[in-house]
Amino acid sequence: MNTRILIALPIAFALAACGASTRPAGFAAALPPAPPPTYAAPPSTDGAIYQASHGYAPLYNGNRASQVGDLVTIVLVERTVTSKATSSKTTRDGSAGLTLPDFVGIDQGDLSASAGSSFNGQGNAAQTSTLRGDLTVTIADVRPNGTAFVRGEKVMQLSQGEEWVQVSGIIRLADIDQDNRISSIRVADARISYSGEGAVQQSSRPGWLSRFFNVVSPF
């Protein structure tokens, strides 16, 4: 009976993993909607050549993306380097002594005490993340001040699994070049998500039994 239970447990875990959604936890199943407008366009001025109500209007736009639904290519050039080091050292010493009269007949050396404690700890952490590539997104909202909200995603079916990339944020239309490309470092309020699923992704994570012992281990 116990043997059957031990055999059934790994099978149940495997079936649960297969039945789960292929999209990793924490990765948005859908792109965020365009935020509602929080601005009010100024009223038009009759008889004036320049109309502030028309918002951003460059003298020459050419074929650059500038309207809702136009496509813009985000050039991903993300790189972050973080490091942290901590050090702590404490030392504590103490002593006590008691002097008794000679007639007590007790050796005074037996009534002295001393104690000491020390602690020395160090910790270091470092992480480097790099993301390179291109992702074409769609303009979802255009604002009168010349900025636009863009969003898009790419799903790649590879031989060893799938990979997902999502990008959303606010860009300046003036930063778009003649090829409708813009660097990711110019995207404000950027939300960039990258994840995947497959043999390569699974091999980089510990198994369920290792994760269990990491949780219950007191060390």
Burial of 166 (0-12, 13-18, 19+ CB in 10 A): buried
CB 65 within 8 A of CB 72: yes
Banded model confidence at residue 156, pLDDT cuts 50, 70, 90: confident
| Token couple for 23 | 């999209």
Given this model, what pLDDT does residue 134 score?
Answer: 92
Q: Tell me the pairing of strands 71-96 and 181-183.
A: parallel
pTM: 0.56
d(Cα 55, Cα 115) in Å, to the nearest integer? 76
| Token couple for 105 | 């007949």
User: CB under 8 Å to 176, separation ≥6 — which residues?
Assistant: 64, 65, 66, 72, 182
Question: What average pLDDT does the segment 35-44 reach?
Answer: 59
pLDDT(98) > 70: no
* Most confidently predicted of 99-108, 144-153, 205-214: 144-153
